[in-house]
């Protein structure tokens, strides 16, 4: 497979890429590389696992691009949904009873934290609309995640050899009779996220280049995800790989058939293997009449009660499931619904109070706020799938990669808060930003704004230099 010249000279008979596009491409590539590398460097440097401010800093840097997208990209439905959600958080805080946290500060901070995904997604809309070669940005993502996962592999193995404690001496959680490795970065969920995205990246490279070592890396990384035994990530990894590895011309029914086969294999694994039986026993602790009351299940139940009691606006921003609700004090809502009595939900140890997402939206924003946020989220998500359906016959692997990431984030959102997590937030912003690149700016589609883009090769794939070449269909349509 021939390499493509990495300079910005065009192919014979084709004009050179614009200097402006190259500048935006460079900005996006540098930003992505620095963000991912800095995230993992911060994790390595921490004595105990915890968040940092790099996502807030990145949002400040990306805010000008997000504002430009807001002005020019025609993102009206998403904007109306987001503004409506803000209003519900603020008005709910004003009209509701005092919840024991400083207001309006808590509500404003909660609204700002929930807006980070919009800032990142809108900013990447603006950037991707102006790139002749968005695949160059994704190359950085692919190889960065693969490189970091390879570096982390020995440390994951060491956790298994050490058994009871991690490299830093932290206690390793045991699930289904096996330890959940933390690896180099001090947290087993971070390990599962890293290796899931690395598996997706390897799958893209395998489809593009047909090099067996990428398929082996994909299998190895997926194996680590299963070794961590985090159920949400396991399911998302399997479904994402089905989306990525199925034949490019396979239709919707082929996808359903593949998912059905995977579901059957998972069922057999859970029912007829010792590890599967242990996982089922573990899951039974959180479901059914005999479930153990946890902060996560308690907050699910409480959010429904809040939505009914404080219809239609909830308890207001910064009062339930958000960082200000326990970092700026301790919300009275937790006392009202008995969450203060649960491990990880007390005032002294509130470590699990952000282990939910959609219940937080419902509790703080009420039914009306939930509806507005759902409008916003659907509006920024649908373009990703719409463009994919239009390019299904040409096999747009970049779009498939973004869909796989969306599946991962959505699965995690059922029992955690990925859209305020600095890694998953960034991955979501890039993925949804690429999907919304099909939205029109000034009457022209971002996939159609340049006659130069029409003249470039319509079918591209990654070559060994990290650029795009060949006939596999990797790249924008």
Is 327 among the domain residues? no
The predicted-structure confidence for 437-456, as pLDDT tens digits, reads as follows 854 333 344 444 443 433 34
Predicted pLDDT of residue 75: 85
With cut-offs at 50, 70 and 90, classify the pLDDT of residue 469. very low
Give the lowest-confidence range in 10-14, 119-123, 152-156, 274-278: 10-14
Q: Is the Cβ–Cβ distance between 100 and 331 less than 8 Å?
A: yes
What are the C-alpha distances in Å from 277 to residues 171, 267, 274, 281, 312? 24, 11, 5, 6, 42
**Is the residue at 325 inside a domain?**
no
Q: Which residue has the higher pLDDT, 451 or 369?
A: 369
Report which of 407, 285, 417 is spatially closest to residue 359, judged by C-alpha positions: 417
β-strand partners of 174: 179
Question: How many domains does the chain divide into?
Answer: 1
Most confident of 60-64, 353-357, 462-466: 60-64
Six token digits for residue 294: 């946890």
Per-residue pLDDT tens digits for 144-199: 999 999 999 999 888 877 766 666 667 777 766 677 888 889 888 999 999 999 99
DSSP class per residue in 201-214: HHHHHHHHH--HHH
Structural domain contains residue 319? no
Residue 342: name the closest of 384, 409, 297 by CA. 297
pLDDT digits (tens, 9 = 90+) for 78-110: 999 999 999 999 999 999 889 999 999 999 999
476 or 68: which leads in pLDDT: 68
Output the pLDDT for position 248.
62
For the record, the structure tokens of 246 come out as 């199925």
124 belongs to a structural domain: yes
Going along 164-295, which residue ranges are E strands?
A: 174-175, 178-179
Q: Residue 136 domain-assigned?
A: yes
Residue 350 maps to a domain: no
Cα dihedral value 286, 290, 294, 298, nearest 10: 100
Render pLDDT for 29-68 as a digit per residue (tens, 0 to 9): 999 999 999 999 999 998 888 888 999 999 999 999 999 9
- Tell me the residue ranges of DSSP E strands in 315-414: none
What span, in angstroms and rounded, lies between the C-alpha atoms of 453 and 173?
51
Instruction: Give residue 477's pLDDT band: very low, low, confident or very high (50, 70, 90).
Output: very low
Kindly state whether residue 1 falls inside one of the protein's structural domains. no
- Check residues 275 and 449 and name the one with the higher pLDDT: 275
Q: N- to C-terminal Cα distance for the chain?
A: 21
What mean pLDDT is reported for the chain? 81
Mean pLDDT across the stretch 313-337?
Answer: 95
In order of 18, 121, 302, 413, 425, the CA distances from 359 in angstroms are: 46, 23, 8, 10, 18
CA–CA gap between residue 458 and residue 470 (Å, rounded): 10
Least confident of 65-79, 127-141, 462-476: 462-476
Is residue 374 in a domain?
yes
The model's pLDDT over 231-248, given as tens digits with 9 standing for 90+, comes to 889 989 999 999 898 876
84 C-beta neighbours (distance < 10 Å), count: 18
Block residue for tokens 């995904």? 117
As a whole number, mean pLDDT of residues 455-463 equals 40
Q: Which domain range does residue 180 map to?
A: 19-289+355-469
pLDDT of residue 86: 96
């Amino acid at each position: 497979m021939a390499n493509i010249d990495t300079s910005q000279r065009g192919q014979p008979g084709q004009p050179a890429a614009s200097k402006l596009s190259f500048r935006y491409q460079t900005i996006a590539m540098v930003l992505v590389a620095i963000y991912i590398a800095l995230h993992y460097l911060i994790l390595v440097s921490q004595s105990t696992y915890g968040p940092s401010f790099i996502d807030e800093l990145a949002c400040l840097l990306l805010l000008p691009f997000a504002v430009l997208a807001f002005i020019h990209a025609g993102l009206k439905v998403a904007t109306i949904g987001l503004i409506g959600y803000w209003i519900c958080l603020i008005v709910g805080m004003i009209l509701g009873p005092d919840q024991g946290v400083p207001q309006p500060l808590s509500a404003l901070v909660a609204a700002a934290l929930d807006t980070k995904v919009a800032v990142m997604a809108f900013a990447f809309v603006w950037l991707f609309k102006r790139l002749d070669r968005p695949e160059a940005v994704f190359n950085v993502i692919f190889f960065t995640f693969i490189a970091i996962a390879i570096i982390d592999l020995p440390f994951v193995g060491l956790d298994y050899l050490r058994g009871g404690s991690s490299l830093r001496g932290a206690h390793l959680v045991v699930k289904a009779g096996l330890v959940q490795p933390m690896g180099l970065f001090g947290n087993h969920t971070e390990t599962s996220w890293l290796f899931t995205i690395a598996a997706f990246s390897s799958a893209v490279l395998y489809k593009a280049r047909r090099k067996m070592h990428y398929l082996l890396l994909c299998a190895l990384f997926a194996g680590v995800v299963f070794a961590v035994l985090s159920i949400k990530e396991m399911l998302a990894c399997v479904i994402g790989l089905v989306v990525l590895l199925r034949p490019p011309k396979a239709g919707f029914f082929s996808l359903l058939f593949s998912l059905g086969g995977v579901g059957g294999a998972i069922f057999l694994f859970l029912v007829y293997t010792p590890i599967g039986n242990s996982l089922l026993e573990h899951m039974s602790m959180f479901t059914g009449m005999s479930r153990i009351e946890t902060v996560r299940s308690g907050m699910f139940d409480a959010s429904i009660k809040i939505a009914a009691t404080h219809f239609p606006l909830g308890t207001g921003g910064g009062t339930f499931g958000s960082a200000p609700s326990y970092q700026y004090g301790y919300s009275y809502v937790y006392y009202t619904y008995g969450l203060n009595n649960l491990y990880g939900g007390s005032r002294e140890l509130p470590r699990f109070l952000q282990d939910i997402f959609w219940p937080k939206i419902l509790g703080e924003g009420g039914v009306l706020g939930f509806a507005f946020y759902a409008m916003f989220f659907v509006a920024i998500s649908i373009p990703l799938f719409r463009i994919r359906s239009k390019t299904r016959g040409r096999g747009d692997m970049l779009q498939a990669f973004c869909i796989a990431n969306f599946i991962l984030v959505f699965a995690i959102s059922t029992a955690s808060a990925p859209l305020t997590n600095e890694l998953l937030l960034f991955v979501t912003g890039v993925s949804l930003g690429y999907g919304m690149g099909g939205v029109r700016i000034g009457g022209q589609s971002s996939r159609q704004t340049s006659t130069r883009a029409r003249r470039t090769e319509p079918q591209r794939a990654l070559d060994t230099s990290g650029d795009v070449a060949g006939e596999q269909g990797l790249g924008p349509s």
